[in-house]
Amino acid sequence: MIWQRLRQSWFLAALAGVLTAGLLFGHSGPDAVVAWFLRIVQPAVTTAIVLFLMAFSLDASRRREALSRPASAVWGSLVNIGLMPLIAWPLAEWQELPDFRLGLLVTAVVPCTLATASVFTRKAGGNDAVSLLVTLLTNVSCVVLTPLWLQGLLTKSAAFDPWRTLEQLTLSVLVPTVLGQVLQETPLGRQVAVRYRREIGVAAQCLVLLLVSVAATQAGRVLSQQSSWPTARSAAVMTAACVALHGLAAAVGWHGSQWLRLPRADAIAVAIAGSQKTLPIGLMIVATPGLLTAAAPFVTFPLLVFHAGQLIIDSALAERWAAATESPFVDALAEPDV
């Protein structure tokens, strides 16, 4: 039991450690070393590798199963990348710090995470085929929808380049996702994906931690140049907004599924996949030079807080649902991913 808990929570602990170390390194590390580290790690390239690895390791047979009954996945996708930006809009207006407002909006417009949604869905006794299809639909559609949402939600004080964003999402999200799924359809690719799925997942998570370290180092570097830091009150308001965004989306997905008379296993998948967001794409948007032109040194904080919060909240929800559900979709695999 203890080993299983450690296996489930190691990524969350590593996330906290990397974030703290990155902030300290960026704030107090040698300028030449910090600049070298930030220069060699390219967020767009790292994100593309992560998404390729995760798309390659996803179970294609479950995708085909979900395609035979697409209603649940379509509803989950609408919640994730259609309703969540609308929910985030008023929550962002309550933020005292413009950086937190921008970070919350970026969090809301990125797609569903590539593996955690399916893992927690299986753990809760839900239909992970639905969560898998929600993941693929939102990651493909975000190439167009994310720039449109950003253009509609951001003001002139947080300008961005929509065409460059579209180009970057195509290269770093759409191409590696499609390529990963296509390679998995080959006999050799399927064999490798099945045999080394866990190892591929761990490698992808380590690359996500690398992205977090870059974002944290950049934030620490900016902190060393700032005369004032976010107040405890603004941080608390931001944290509450992240929790509210995730909770409201999960509630809408769950109750909407019941109104649509979807099976309970599908409703669980919609609630989880509809409310989860991926970290690498959000970090890529805020870290790639030229995509966002506003000066926002603390913009990464809402992305990191939301991601940590969804791991904690959905882990508790999954355990509660699993205790009340007897489902053929329950699986012993319960490792966190990105």
Q: How many residues does the chain have?
A: 338
Residue 336 counted as domain residue = no
Count Cα neighbours of 14 within 13 Å in the Cβ-side half-sphere.
Answer: 19
- Count CB atoms within 10 A of the CB of residue 237: 18
pLDDT at 131 over 80: yes
* Amino acid at site 250: A
91 contacts 108 by C-beta, under 8 angstroms: no
- How high is the pLDDT of residue 328? 46
Tokens of 322: 């699993």
Mean pLDDT within 261-268: 92
- How high is the pLDDT of residue 244? 97
Residue 277 counted as domain residue = yes
DSSP 239-297: HHHHHHHHHHHHHHHHHHHHHTT--HHHHHHHHHHTT---HHHHHHHHHSBTTB-S--T
Residue 332 counted as domain residue = no
187 contacts 324 by C-beta, under 8 angstroms: no
Residue 62 counted as domain residue = yes
Mean pLDDT within 77-102: 94
pLDDT at 143 over 50: yes
pLDDT at 155 over 70: no
Q: What separation, in Å, do the N-terminal and C-terminal C-alpha atoms of the chain show? A: 23
Return the higher-pLDDT residue of 79 and 163.
Answer: 79
- How high is the pLDDT of residue 325? 61
- What's the predicted TM-score (pTM) here? 0.80
Residue 120 counted as domain residue = yes
pLDDT confidence band for 165 (50 / 70 / 90): confident
36-45, 132-141, 255-264: the lowest-pLDDT one: 36-45
> Following CA atoms 137, 331, 257, 69 in sequence, which dihedral angle do they give, to the nearest 10 degrees?
50
pLDDT digits (tens, 9 = 90+) for 15-26: 778 888 988 898
Mean pLDDT within 243-252: 96
Number of domains in the chain: 1
* Domain with 57 in it: 9-323
Residue 1 counted as domain residue = no
CATH code of 119's domain: 1.20.1530.20
Q: What angle separates helix 128-153 from helix 84-93, to the nearest 10 degrees?
A: 50
pLDDT confidence band for 330 (50 / 70 / 90): very low
Residue 224 counted as domain residue = yes
SS3 160: strand
Alpha-carbon distance values, 338 to 37, 114, 177, 289 (Å): 23, 6, 14, 23
- How high is the pLDDT of residue 324? 73
- How high is the pLDDT of residue 231? 87
Residue 274 counted as domain residue = yes
Residue % of the chain over a pLDDT of 90: 27
